[in-house]
Structure 1
Amino acid sequence: MSASLDSGLSPTPRTARLQLFAELRGPATVPRPLDARALAALAANPGCRRRALLDGAGVDKSALAAKLGSPAPFGQSQFAIVRGNSFEAKVKADGGRELLRLIGVEEPGAVSVPDLAAAGPQGRVARTALALREATAAGTWTLLDHPLLALEVAGSPVYLEPDAVVVRPDGTWTVVEIKSFPMVDGAADASKVGAAARQAAVYVLALERVAAVTEGARVAQSVLLVCPKDFSNVPTASVVDVRKQRAVTRRQLARLTRVDEIADALPEGTSFDVVERSAAELTAAVESVPHQYAPECLAACELAFHCRARSREADAVETLGRSVRGELGGLPTVGAVLAASRGEAGDPEDPAVAALCRARALREEALAAADVSSERGGRSCR
């Protein structure tokens, strides 16, 4: 699929890409921007071309899933959003006194808080980079409140907005993540901390692009996670090492196929316009893009229920999880797995097939032993 051009002039690659994305989501539809949370989820499943294309084109996947008849209860509740905003405002109140105290600065007056306002996202990114360079050169404590960073993903720029970035006098830049889930007895829910670490790792990668062209700058490989202490509203902090998450995210994002390459393989006229296209047309459009469903998608993607239904219809092994899929090798469906366990399909020399046959034999032996035991007992055990 190629973008139609009304002008005889050759557009720049960026202009052509933006025009293509507008056609895919519908010219009247405002693009849905990517954020660090979405990028972390995308990096966790880099083989899913469907999500890469829809996210890159700015398609509203929630509206698309609803139009397809598979809405997903995905995302934060309004209550959680309000609570999070309220807690962040408390942490940053009075010139960020509480936040600075957690960092180790007792006198807020010694900290510079530059104005990062600028016109448009590109202007804000440039203003953030300038503030980071100036703070590093000055060698003073600096707090950047909601800076804007840029990261190229699959050939398209993505704008990211961390809660805060602290520049230390030695030139170290530290990402600050403010979350509203509690930290009880110095520890928070492991799954929530993990999600926050993956999100923060995206910010670290974006900061490293700026640090690479800033003399004396260094991006910390750990982030400051700020949460309510116990069940109060008092902020407390913990340092979280994100080196592993950063390495995994960087590798996975690098594996993503360029979005325009995925779009070029689509049938002519494909569109994900939820306003103008019917449910049948949208279903055909979505199915024209390969997906890589896994149960983990249910917690990270708005189209997960639709993809799960299609995977179940196809009897795909992926519905059982990535680990199971990896163990079963070249057996793509549940039917093929069952046939291999009966010795009716698959290469007998394949370790996966041999393991399935052995497992089936052990199961039959166990069932036979259970039947004999129940007969001796004079009753049936269920």
Structure 2
Amino acid sequence: MNASLGSGPESTPPPVRPDAAVPVRQRLAELRGPAVAPHPLDARALAALAANPGCERRTLLDGAGVNKAVLAQALGSPAPFGQSQFAFMRGNAFEARVKSDGGTELLRLLGVDDPAAAGALTPDVSAAGPEGRTARTALALREATAAKAWTLLDHPMLALEVAGTPVYLEPDAVVVHPDGRWTVVEIKSFPMLDGSADPSKVGAAARQAAVYVLALERVAAKVPGAEVRDRVLLVCPKDFSNLPTGSTVDVRKQLSVTRRQLGRMRRVAELAEALPEGTTFDPSCGPEELTAAVSAVDAAYAPECLAACELAFHCREQSRGAGAVEALGRSVRGELGGLTTVGAVLDAAAGRAGDPADPTVAALRRAAELRAEALASAGRG
């Protein structure tokens, strides 16, 4: 499967022209603040971004390299994101164990009968800067495919264009098979109990791995004989031990959704140009100025954002303040049709507004009648 992100009718627009790239980068730097370094996107954030492509606020902030956690702190609405130091150290120790002995354990989890005899190659993919590491990774993948030998790439660097800007991604590992297939390896510290793990965590890992697969497909398209597998290897601790165990996860559904969602995103340059002159997300600015800057970009808040976006608490407060029904969930928003505020819903239910022939309005009024009857019965009891 070598289809790239730009394939199909919902493909992303072509890259920014070289003569326009510098002004775009300058504009994005102005949005971050003159002394603020860009905050890199990772696959976890990119998967969350693809899950909510209608949120122009997150698209612009992530594309401009704004650190949303720092911005949320400056706005007075910090979100409790991130791993504890203990969990971080435990995860690193487990990953090191999985990759020890030149990838022997990984080959065993991939089903190789005699991994020690297979002797995986472990090329060095280090280089200066993300562009250099991306180029070095592409060269290592090409050489490994041509060599027709088991090869383990430890923390390679991949690039993926999102909304007109490059994003650099670093999977835990990529294994090249002798037959030219490439497998993404995702190493997690949550346990696999009796051969299965928490479905929500597996789903999140699958969405993250799908982003890596998309980026790998761009490289594989230029390498003769290469094929990126749409099944990734998820490695977790077995039961309550530190012994690694693996499970093959089919990410075809996540690939399809992520490819389509990324293709729907507006270009970051367009969003930046639409902002008022002087808009900045520099965390050194005051809360009022930052609130105005954030409010200048449309958001698509939903309760699911609380588990995936550092600005979710700020956006929730704004959504509730506006009485938007999105704060109640996407499914509720879909059921209410043209009623976009809680006030409009209550007025329709009470008969103060709305067309009685509208099925949504009729359902709300019937629900209000049933509620009144239930309350009256409870009062008589």
- TM superposition score normalised by structure 1: 0.92
CA distance in 2, matches of 1:31, 1:82: 26
304-313 or 118-127: which moved more? 118-127
* Unmatched segments (≥5 aa) in structure 1: 1-9, 375-382
Q: Tell me the equivalent position of 2:4.
A: none
Secondary structure at the residue paired with 1:19?
helix
Question: Quick one: which amino acid aligns to residue 126 of structure 1?
Answer: A
**1:159-216 residue CA offsets vs partner (Å, 9 max, x unmatched):** 0000001111111111000000000100111111111000000001001111112211
Give the match's secondary structure for 1:12: helix
Counterpart of 1:51 in structure 2 is 58
Q: Aligned match of 1:292 in 292, 300, 315?
A: 300
Secondary structure of 2:80's match?
Answer: coil
Is residue 189 from structure 1 mapped to residue 181 from structure 2 by the alignment?
no
Equivalent-residue separation in structure 1 for 2:356 and 2:217 (angstroms):
50
Structure 2 residue corresponding to 1:278, chosen from 259, 280, 286: 286
State how far apart, in whole Å, the 1-side matches of 2:310 and 2:182 are.
34
Equivalent AA in structure 1 for residue 158 of structure 2: L
State yes or no: 1:28 paired with 2:28: no
Alignment of 1:223-372 (within 5 A): 223-275=232-284, 277-372=285-380
Aligned to 2:188: 179
Q: What CA distance in whole angstroms lies between the structure 1 residues aligned with 2:320 and 2:136?
A: 49
Contact 2:104–2:120 (CA under 8 A) maintained in structure 1: no
- Equivalent in the alignment of 1:4: none
Deviation sequence 1:124-178 (CA, Å, 0-9, x none): 1111111111222222211111111000000000000000011111111110000
Is the aligned partner of 1:88 residue 2:110? no
Partner of 2:104: 97
* Corresponding residue number in structure 2 for 1:78: 85
Aligned-pair CA distance for 1:107: 3.1
In 2, distance between residues paired with 1:155 and 1:239?
A: 32
Among 121, 124, 149, which residue is 2:130 paired with? 121
The answer to whether structure 1 residue 12 and structure 2 residue 19 are counterparts is: yes
Alpha carbon RMSD of aligned pairs, Å?
1.4
Number of matched residues? Answer: 363
Moved more, 152-161 or 362-371: 362-371
Question: Which has more radius of gyration?
Answer: 1
1:63 counterpart = 2:53: no
State the AA in 1 paired with 2:111: G
Residue in structure 2 matched with residue 380 of structure 1 by the alignment: none
CA contact (8 A) 2:151 2:176 kept: yes
Q: Which residue of 2 aligns with 1:378?
A: none
Residue 155 of structure 1, aligned match among 134, 154, 164: 164
Q: Any conservation in 1 of the 2:103–2:120 contact (CA below 8 Å)? A: no
One-letter code of the match for 2:251? V
CA–CA distance in 2 between the matches of 1:59 and 1:151?
Answer: 18
Range 134-143 or range 186-195, more displaced: 134-143
Write the distance in 2 (CA, Å) between the matches of 1:294 and 1:198: 19
* CA positional deviation for 1:11: 7.3
- Counterpart code for 2:275: L
Once the 2 structures are TM-superposed, how far is the Cα of residue 28 of structure 1 from its aligned partner?
0.9
Give the letter aligned to residue 51 of structure 1.
R
Match of 1:164 in 2: 173
Residue 292 of structure 1 deviates from its aligned partner by 0.8
1:290 aligned counterpart, secondary structure = coil
Aligned equivalents of 1:348 and 1:212: distance in 2? 57
Q: Which of 184, 207, 214 in structure 2 is aligned with 1:205?
A: 214
Q: Kindly indicate whether the alpha-carbon contact (under 8 Å) linking 2:319 and 2:327 is maintained by their aligned counterparts in 1.
A: yes
Q: Which moved more, 1:104-113 or 1:148-157?
A: 104-113
Higher mean Cα deviation, 318-327 or 134-143? 134-143
SS in 2 for 1:359: helix
Cα distance in 2 for residues equivalent to 1:352 and 1:83: 51
Q: For 2:18 and 2:326, how far apart are their aligned partners in 1?
A: 41
Q: Which runs of 5+ in 2 are unaligned?
A: 1-16
Percentage of identical aligned residues? 73
Describe the SS at the equivalent of 1:31: coil
